[in-house]
Structure 1
Amino acid sequence: MAQRLDAGSANRHRLELYSAGEQPLTFLAPEIRAALNNRLSRVSIGVPRMLVDALAERLRLTGFDDLSVWDLFLQNDMDQLSGVVHREALTLGNSYVTVWDKITVETAHQMVTMEDPGTRETVAGFKRWETDKTTEGVLYLPNTIVRLRANQTGATTQGFEVVDELENPLGVVPVVRFKNSDRLLGEGVSAMEPVLSLTDALTKLTTDMLTSSEYSARPRRWATGVELAERDVLDDEGNPTGETEAVNPFGENDRMMISEAADSKFGQLQGADLAAYQNAINVIMRQISAVSGLPEHMLGIGGDNPTSADAMRSSESALTAKAEAKQSQFGRSWEQVARLAIAARDGVDPASVSVSAQWADPATRSVAQEADAVVKLFSAGLLSQRFALKRLGYSDAEVREIIAN
Structure 2
Amino acid sequence: MSELLEVLSAKLDESQSGLAKLDSYYAGTQPAAFLSPKSAEALGNKLRVLSVNFPKLTVRSIAERLQVTGFRAIGDDNADTDLWRIWQANDLEAQSHLAHLDALVYGRSFVFVWAGPNGPRVTVESAKQVTAIFDPASGEVTAVLKKWLSGTTHHAVVLEADKITRYAGKENALQVVEVLPNPLGEVPVVPLVNSGRLLDFEGVSEMADILDLTDGLNKIMSDALVSSEYFARPRRWVTGMEIVEDDDGNAVNPFSSEANRVWQSEDAETKFGQFDGARLDGYGDIVAILTQQIGAISGLPPHYLGLNGDQPPSADAISSAEASLVAAIFGKHRALGRRWAKVADLVMKVRDGQNTRDFETLWKAPDTRTPAQVADAAAKLAGIGVPLVAVLADPMGYSPSQITTIMQGKRAEALTASGADLSAFLVSE
- Distance in 2 (alpha carbons) for counterparts of 1:229 and 1:30: 32
Show the counterpart of 1:200: 215
Contact kept, 8 Å, 1:297 with 1:305, in 2: the verdict is no
Write the letter of the residue equivalent to 1:41.
R
SS in 2 for 1:216: helix
Structure 2 partner of 1:293? 299
* Rounded Cα–Cα distance in structure 1 between residues aligned with 2:325 and 2:138: 32
Flag structure 2 segments of 5+ consecutive residues without an equivalent. Answer: 1-7, 73-79, 116-120, 410-429
Aligned to 1:236: none
Partner of 1:49: 56
1:353 deviates by 2.9
- Rounded to whole Å, the distance in 2 between the matches of 1:404 and 1:395 is 14
Deviations along 1:334-388, one digit per CA (max 9) or x if unpaired, are 0000000011111115xx331110111111121222122212332x152222222
Residue 142 of structure 1 contacts residue 168 of structure 1 at CA under 8 Å; is this kept in 2? yes
1:376 corresponds to 2:380: yes
TM-score (norm 1): 0.92
**2:252 aligned residue:** 247
Unaligned runs of 5+ in 1: 234-242
- Runs of 4+ in structure 1 off by over 6 angstroms are none
Quick one: which of 27, 40, 49 aligns to 1:33?
40
In the TM superposition, what whole-angstrom CA distance separates every residue of 1:265-291 from its partner, at most 9, and x where no partner exists?
A: 111111111000110111111111111
1:398 to 399, 402, 417: 402
The answer to whether the 8 Å contact 2:158/2:164 transfers is yes
Partner of 2:106: 92
Aligned to 1:132: 151
The correspondence of residues 93-242 of structure 1 with structure 2, limited to 5 A, is 93-101=107-115, 102-150=121-169, 152=170, 155=171, 158-186=172-200, 187-228=202-243
Name the CA distance, whole Å, in 1 between partners of 2:107 and 2:209: 12
Residue aligning to 1:79: 93
Question: Contact 1:342–1:353 (CA<8 Å) still a contact in 2?
Answer: no
Equivalent-residue separation in structure 2 for 1:97 and 1:252 (angstroms)? 65
TM-score scaled by length of structure 2: 0.87
Q: Which amino acid aligns with 1:95?
A: S
| SS state at 1:259 partner | coil
**Matched residue, 2:354:** 348
**CA RMSD in angstroms, aligned pairs only:** 1.7
The equivalent position to 1:68 in structure 2, one of 78, 82, 86, is: 82
Give the secondary structure class of the aligned counterpart of 1:356.
Answer: strand
Give, in angstroms, the shift of residue 306 of structure 1.
5.1
Q: Which amino acid aligns with 2:187?
A: V
Specify the code of the residue in structure 2 equivalent to 1:249. P
Match of 1:385 among 373, 388, 391: 388
Task: Confirm whether residue 328 of structure 1 aligns to residue 325 of structure 2.
Answer: no
Q: Distance in 2 between matches of 1:88 and 1:305?
A: 35
For the residue of structure 2 that corresponds to 1:8, the secondary structure is helix
- Report the Cα distance in structure 2 between the residues aligned to 1:276 and 1:312, rounded to whole angstroms: 29
Between the aligned partners of 1:109 and 1:246, the Cα distance in structure 2 is 58
Does residue 24 of structure 1 match 2:31?
yes
Distance in structure 2 (CA, Å) of the matches to 1:57 and 1:364: 12
- Indicate the SS of the match to 1:103: strand
Identity of aligned residues (%): 41
Which of 245, 270, 273 is the aligned partner of 1:267? 273
Structure 1, residues 159-212: CA drift from partner, whole Å, max 9, x if none?
A: 121100111111111000011112111321100000000001001111111000
Aligned match of 1:240: none
* Corresponding pairs, count: 387
Cα 1:270–1:105, aligned 2, differ >3 Å: closer, same or farther?
same
When residues 255 and 371 of structure 1 are mapped into structure 2, their CA distance, relative to the original with a 3 A threshold, is: farther
